A = this chain, B = another copy of it.
Amino acid sequence: MCEANAYMIDGNREELIMEAVDSVEPEEGGFRLVNLFGEQKFVRGTIHSLSLVDHKVYFKKAAGS
């Protein structure tokens, strides 16, 4: 399976938001994450970068939030 873990970049730190993320869909002010287990989480911010072979999706907070 090609799921990934989602992280929020906070300065030099990476905070794990959610594991085994499948879909990431835009919503007002951020993104709705859904993982392989059907769990959902809303993330405020934007998608910063991807490293898919490492199974990583990075988010960052929107400017000013």
Chain A residues with CB under 8 Å of chain B are: 1-4, 21-26, 31, 36, 46-53, 55, 57
B53 touches A25 (CB 8 A): no
Q: A2-B2, A4-B2, A46-B46 are in contact. Are A51 and B23 (CB under 8 A)?
A: yes
Copies of this chain in the oligomer = 2
> CA separation between A44 and B22, bound complex, in Å?
24
Known: A2-B4, A4-B2, A47-B47. A52 touches B23 (CB 8 A): yes
Q: Which of A21, A26, A36, A53 has the most CB of B within 10 A?
A: A53
A26 B48 Cβ-Cβ under 8 A: yes
Q: Which residues of B contact A31 (CB under 8 A)?
A: 49
